[in-house]
Amino acid sequence: MFRKLSGLLLILWACGISGCGNSYGTPIAVTGKITLAGQPVTKARIIFRSSDTKLPGELGTLVAELKPDGTYSIEKVYPSEYVVMLESTGGMDATKSAVPPPSPLASYGATSTLRAKVAADKKVFDFDLPASK
């Protein structure tokens, strides 16, 4: 029994030294709703990109498709401050002009000013975007 216990302690000690697990905190499920002038945004995706350089890319950039009612849900979001970006997923309509009008979401891409500070007590992020920016 002593050998089993000492083996377990050795494994736990090794994990502590080598960094088993992570130091990013406990992941949180984040939800919210995106509206444009009070109306649900559809055919778009939301992107959370952490401004914390300690989070590796696969943990610091998270993407979800918006549902038809403008809501979204992202599992396993680590506590951090995120830049929130929106990207239109609406395809071109063959019956319309070959040059579509600019998306109202265009200003919420790489230069987005939307922010979300995710924490255990802050996990719902609703954004009502103005009709024109």
3-state secondary structure of 89: coil
Superfamily of domain 25-92+101-129 in CATH is Immunoglobulins (2.60.40.10)
* Position 17 confidence tier, pLDDT thresholds 50, 70, 90: very low
* Position 126 confidence tier, pLDDT thresholds 50, 70, 90: very high
What string of DSSP letters covers the chain? -HHHHHHHHHHHHHHHHHT-S-SS---EEEEEEEEETTEEP-SEEEEEEES-TTS-HHHHEEEEEPPTTSEEEEEEEPSEEEEEEEEE-PPPPTTS-SSPPPPTTGGGSTT---EEEEBTTB-B--EEE-S--
> Tens digits of per-residue pLDDT, 41-86?
999 999 999 987 777 777 889 999 999 999 999 999 999 999 999 9
* Position 14 confidence tier, pLDDT thresholds 50, 70, 90: very low
Does residue 98 carry a pLDDT above 90?
no
Residue 5 confidence (pLDDT):
46
Does residue 10 carry a pLDDT above 70?
no
Domain boundary assignment for the chain: 25-92+101-129
* Position 96 confidence tier, pLDDT thresholds 50, 70, 90: low
As a whole number of angstroms, the distance between CA 7 and CA 43 comes to: 54
Residue 41 confidence (pLDDT):
94
Element (H, E) at 84: strand 80-88
* Position 4 confidence tier, pLDDT thresholds 50, 70, 90: low
More confident call, 3 vs 102: 102
Question: In this structure, are residues 111 and 16 in contact, taking their beta carbons and an 8 Å threshold?
Answer: no
